[in-house]
Amino acid sequence: MKKDDIDSPLLVGKGGLQAMRLQAVDGACTEIYCHGAHVTSWMPAADSGHVDDQLFLSSRATFTAGSAIRGGVPIIFPQFADSGPLLKHGFARSTEWQFINQTAGTPASALFRLQDTPATRKHWPYAFIAEYEVSVGGNSLQLVLRVINSDDRPFSFTVALHTYLRISDVDAVRVDGLQSLRYRDSAAGGVERLASDEILSIQGEVDRIYFSALRPITVVEATRRMQVRATGFTDAVIWNPGAAKAAALADLEPDGFRHMLCVESAVIEHPITLATGASWTGTQELLLQ
């Protein structure tokens, strides 16, 4: 990336899109695009023992206005998937957000904002303000999303932080913290089941929405443990497309599915309803252990 303006922290990133590199005093850093307020990279501090990127970003990801970026952390709002009449996964991930400010230190943080426009109201006819704060430091990446109803009537929405974790091998990864939860198996046509396995392994396509997922989820590998903690989010999504579906994704490299696992903090089963002037806040923290 190169400097966009001498007085601005924004840089010119891939595809000519505005982006910024946020670095804490301890060396931990993250890369954020104004396009979708999309976090595309996260490097923990060197003393964490892990100096590689903790997020998966496809080498074929598209950095184009109006398109979603494959990898990192897309913001899903105001609709998850195609579970309603709106644009699939909403418009937040493919809309330009405004950079507001940044704070130096450890952690370092940056704030972005999205407000309704004539373009968003074509998809969702409400006035709103969304604020997104990204904080990085040590072995932690914290993402805080706040939605405010600035309309003169109530509205409802579903939401998710579609986090792509980088993993070494999908066949060897395990997911802990989902035991005994009810889930919807989207890969099996939407049938609902109860999680009986102590540890989830990824075999073929996995596309599950776990309901009332209120405890931390831990992604376990041979040399790394990543804990996903959430507040305000009531559900969780675990997704890997598997070989067959991955082959149909033009913006994912052929073996990309082997090195990614989506663990998403979400609100899906019971949509959030906000009265005029009310707000909702959801926090997701990735903690490298």
Report how far residue 203's alpha carbon sits from residue 226's, in angstroms, rounded to the nearest whole number: 20
Q: What is the pLDDT of residues 9-46, one digit of tens each?
A: 999 999 999 999 999 999 999 999 999 999 999 999 98
pLDDT at 1: 66
Which residue range is the domain that position 116 belongs to? 2-288
CATH number of the domain bearing residue 137: 2.70.98.10
- Tokens encoding 2: 């190169």
Q: What is the pLDDT of residues 220-256, one digit of tens each?
A: 999 999 999 999 999 999 999 999 999 999 999 999 9
Cα-based angle 102, 128, 269 (whole degrees, multiple of 5):
100
Active site residue 264: yes
Q: What is the pLDDT of residues 100-114, one digit of tens each?
A: 999 999 999 999 999
Q: Among the options 50, 133, 264, 285, which is catalytic?
A: 264
Report how far residue 132's alpha carbon sits from residue 99's, in angstroms, rounded to the nearest whole number: 10
Tell me the Ramachandran region of residue 89: left when phi exceeds 0, alpha when psi lies from -120 to 50, beta otherwise.
left
Report how far residue 135's alpha carbon sits from residue 143's, in angstroms, rounded to the nearest whole number: 7
Question: Is 0.85 surpassed by the pTM of this model?
Answer: yes
> What is the total count of domains within the chain?
1
Q: Among the options 35, 38, 89, 162, which is catalytic?
A: 162
